[in-house]
Chains A and B, each alone.
Chain A
Amino acid sequence: MNMVEVVDVVKTYNKGSLTAVDQVNFSVKKGELFGLIGPDGAGKTTIFRILTTLLLPNQGSASVAGLDVVKDYKQIRKMVGYMPGKFSLYQDLTVEENLNFFASVFNTSIAENYDLIKDIYVQIEPFKDRRAGKLSGGMKQKLALCCALIHKPEILFLDEPTTGVDVVSRKEFWDMLGRLKDQGITILVSTPYMDEATLCERIALIQNGKIMSVETPDEIIKQYPDPLFAIKASNMGKLLIDLRNNPYIKTCNAFGEFHHITFNNLSDSSMEILVKSLENQNHKEIEINPITPNIEDCFINLMN
């Protein structure tokens, strides 16, 4: 059974002059950890708001747990947990007061669903008398997640939960999501960080309001059209410019300490020829290896 079903959804703003979401289709299975991956302004938040019944689509239809987001919005609101993109708790209330408040908004209590949030809550419990506004980024995210979970929702919508959070907190957060998934909660999460894509079971790559691909991360990587190589040399800046102007090279993108390249008309001798031509341009310590593309490679490829 599909927990989320999105069919041909279109959403425009400013009387149609700005199309935020353009003919989007995807579905999320029950118990799945599904990622919506794309940069700011791609339309992720709009999709989340349509699914959480906060916005009405201009065209198309969407359902959550078989309930229509337009007609049955009241039932949907009872069963979803939602964490908006911006930190959306009361900064002037303490950790405990926030949690208590949201528990009673959902007609429940902390004690009732403590099992579900225990893992996360113990980490912030030492600060339970601290005002939410005084927490660090990672702590805020954990508290927000607790609040979104407090009523034991069947499906969780997490809009960019890790944006602006450091690497350590991000890792912890994804570990928590994994454990929640194991408890059978369907999770729809969005992120601008491409490296987080592989932590999801299935992902939708989204750009300019359009979904470019919906697949498992492995499958998306498998579909990368060309063999990919990582290359480095002593002067990386010059290497980038020279590679871009090199006739053998189809694409070239900087990627950390390497540049990722694909060849025009790849043959067995391609690598040798390239190294020679670069050596002629005075590049030293050239190192080139075939590699498996990552999601960011795929995203860049799909964008072009």
Chain B
Amino acid sequence: MKQFLSFVRKEFYHVFRDRKTLLMLFGLPIVQIVLFGFALTNEVKNAKIVIFDYAKDIASQEITQKFEANQNFQLTKSLMNAKQIESAFKKENVKLAIVFPANFYEDLLHLHKAQIQIIADGSDPNTASTLQNYANAIIMDYQMDLLQNQKLPYSINTELRMLYNPELKGATTFVPGIMALVLMLICVLMTAVSIVREKEMGTMEILLVSPFNPFLVIVSKALPYFLLSMVNLTVILVMATTLLDMPIHGSLLLLVAESALLIICALSVGLLISNITKSQQAAMLISMMGMMLPIILFTGFMFPLENMPKPLQLFSNIVPSKWYYIIAKSIMLKGLGIAAIWKETLVLIGMTVLLLFLSLKKFKTRLE
């Protein structure tokens, strides 16, 4: 036990004496939160929209009011002529146009089906798709109102994702994603680099030629980084809730527990990487390049997985952060409990056990 503690203490010395490590450990999450959180939310505030209303009925008016009330949009004017739409986009920097067809409310009432045309400025696809999502959400919101009031079975395809995010804050979709990204990256990187450093420095040789159990080397490497990652998690959560008004509707304890699970999973990936690399640079490169891109691509917070080709969608299943993202979103945004996310949790546990097993099995008690 004394061995173990002194190993852990030594590991903390390493972290606190190396400015680069410290910066990476605590600077990266802060920068990420600020970057993703602020930059992305500000971008879509007060986007100019125009409404072209053929219908002029209750439904179209109510929806228009909802648009007016939303701070993401700034309703500049209502158009009377279809030709004006193009000039509005060209000259007035309008980002989105909403077109209500004639008989909108009638269709909705009797056919249980109605159409709204959303025209977005495709020259800025990111903003366009974000705004389109926002607009969709507003319309869905209206449908929800209708459903509640009249109990009529409207069959309209909705994007459930937005339903639970009525305030339409960019940050809320990003924060769980950033949490997944930061925790994964940092844990993988730190563990891999710190073990490979021992190899590179030659200290691993001395540790191996000692009664110290090699498995204990792993555990005592993992523990400090686990603790530091938990601190990191706290920093992220505090920043998200205070700076970005991010809600945590569900159980904080559950969220922390699930995050701990992801951290352990990431530590195992780090261990695995450290087993197959010989230099710190290689470990860093694999951790950064090999992890960053898949995490950003396949977690689902930057690019919707639904729109990806099937093979890529299948591939996304092996990225642990994808499952964590679903879990974190469910807890933070939807306020759901373990009953709703036990499947995802099981997947994550399974991955962790498998990775841990692999990395322990691959850990070399000799130099080759």
Q: How large is the interface on B (under 10, 10 to 19, 20 to 34, 35 or more residues)?
A: 20 to 34
Per-residue contact bits, chain A 78-109, to B (CB 8 Å; 1 contact, 0 not): 10101011111111110001001110111100
Nearest to B13 among chain A residues (CB) is A93
Bound-complex Cα distance A235 to B205 (A): 50
Nearest to A80 among chain B residues (CB) is B209
Tell yes or no: B65 within 8 A of A by CB.
no
Selected from B5, B208, B210, the residue in CB contact (under 8 A) with A106 is B210
B18 touches A92 (CB 8 A): yes
Nearest-Cβ distance from residue B8 to partner chain A, whole angstroms: 11
Bound-complex Cα distance A26 to B5 (A): 41
A54 touches B203 (CB 8 A): no
B14 touches A87 (CB 8 A): no
Bound-complex Cα distance A53 to B13 (A): 29
A77 touches B209 (CB 8 A): yes
Give A91-142 interface residues, CB cut-off 8 Å to B: 91-93, 97, 100-102, 104-107
Tell me whether A56 and B366 are in contact in the complex, defined as CB-CB below 8 angstroms, given that A82-B205, A92-B17 are known contacts. yes
Nearest to B3 among chain A residues (CB) is A104
Q: Collect the chain B residues with CB atoms within 8 Å of residue A92's CB.
A: 13-14, 17-18
Nearest-Cβ distance from residue A3 to partner chain B, whole angstroms: 16
Give B334-368 interface residues, CB cut-off 8 Å to A: 365-368
A89 touches B13 (CB 8 A): no
Bound-complex Cα distance A97 to B16 (A): 14
B366 touches A105 (CB 8 A): no
Tell yes or no: B215 within 8 A of A by CB.
no
User: A90-B13, A90-B203, A91-B201 known; 10 other A-B pairs, CB under 8 Å?
Assistant: A49-B205, A53-B366, A82-B206, A82-B209, A88-B202, A90-B10, A105-B6, A106-B211, A107-B2, A107-B3
Nearest to A88 among chain B residues (CB) is B202
Tell yes or no: B128 within 8 A of A by CB.
no
Number of interface residues of A (CB under 8 A): 33
Nearest-Cβ distance from residue B5 to partner chain A, whole angstroms: 8
Selected from A80, A87, A97, A104, the residue in CB contact (under 8 A) with B13 is A97
Nearest to B202 among chain A residues (CB) is A88
Tell me whether A97 and B10 are in contact in the complex, defined as CB-CB below 8 angstroms, given that A53-B366, A90-B203 are known contacts. yes
Q: When A and B form their complex, which 5 residue pairs have the shortest distance between CB atoms, in order from nearest?
A: A88-B202, A104-B6, A78-B211, A82-B209, A86-B202
Bound-complex Cα distance A53 to B367 (A): 9
**24 intermolecular pairs with C-beta atoms under 8 Å apart:** A52-B209, A54-B209, A55-B366, A77-B208, A77-B210, A82-B205, A82-B206, A82-B209, A84-B202, A84-B205, A88-B203, A88-B205, A89-B203, A90-B203, A93-B13, A101-B6, A101-B7, A101-B10, A104-B2, A104-B3, A104-B7, A105-B212, A106-B210, A151-B210
Report the tally of A-B residue pairs with Cβ distances under 8 A.
85
Bound-complex Cα distance A106 to B212 (A): 7
Q: Collect the chain B residues with CB atoms within 8 Å of residue A89's CB.
A: 203
Tell me whether A93 and B10 are in contact in the complex, defined as CB-CB below 8 angstroms, given that A88-B201, A107-B2 are known contacts. yes
Q: Collect the chain B residues with CB atoms within 8 Å of residue A97's CB.
A: 10, 13
Tell yes or no: B282 within 8 A of A by CB.
no
Nearest to A97 among chain B residues (CB) is B13
Bound-complex Cα distance A25 to B333 (A): 70
Tell yes or no: B207 within 8 A of A by CB.
yes
Nearest to B204 among chain A residues (CB) is A88
Q: Collect the chain A residues with CB atoms within 8 Å of residue B6's CB.
A: 100-101, 104-105
Tell yes or no: A146 within 8 A of B by CB.
no
Tell yes or no: A243 within 8 A of B by CB.
no
Nearest-Cβ distance from residue A186 to partner chain B, whole angstroms: 15
Q: Collect the chain B residues with CB atoms within 8 Å of residue A52's CB.
A: 205, 209
A77 touches B211 (CB 8 A): yes
Nearest to A92 among chain B residues (CB) is B17
A54 touches B206 (CB 8 A): no
Per-residue contact bits, chain B 180-194, to A (CB 8 Å; 1 contact, 0 not): 000000000000000
Q: Collect the chain B residues with CB atoms within 8 Å of residue A91's CB.
A: 201
Bound-complex Cα distance A80 to B2 (A): 21
B211 touches A107 (CB 8 A): yes
Bound-complex Cα distance A49 to B211 (A): 16
Q: Collect the chain B residues with CB atoms within 8 Å of residue A101's CB.
A: 6-7, 10
Bound-complex Cα distance A11 to B245 (A): 63
Nearest-Cβ distance from residue A149 to partner chain B, whole angstroms: 12
Q: Collect the chain B residues with CB atoms within 8 Å of residue A80's CB.
A: 209
Bound-complex Cα distance A9 to B13 (A): 41
Bound-complex Cα distance A52 to B13 (A): 28
Nearest to A157 among chain B residues (CB) is B209
Nearest-Cβ distance from residue B337 to partner chain A, whole angstroms: 44
Q: Collect the chain A residues with CB atoms within 8 Å of residue B201's CB.
A: 86, 88, 90-91
Bound-complex Cα distance A52 to B202 (A): 14
Give A137-163 interface residues, CB cut-off 8 Å to B: 147-148, 151
B17 touches A55 (CB 8 A): no
Per-residue contact bits, chain A 235-251, to B (CB 8 Å; 1 contact, 0 not): 00000000000000000
Nearest to A131 among chain B residues (CB) is B17
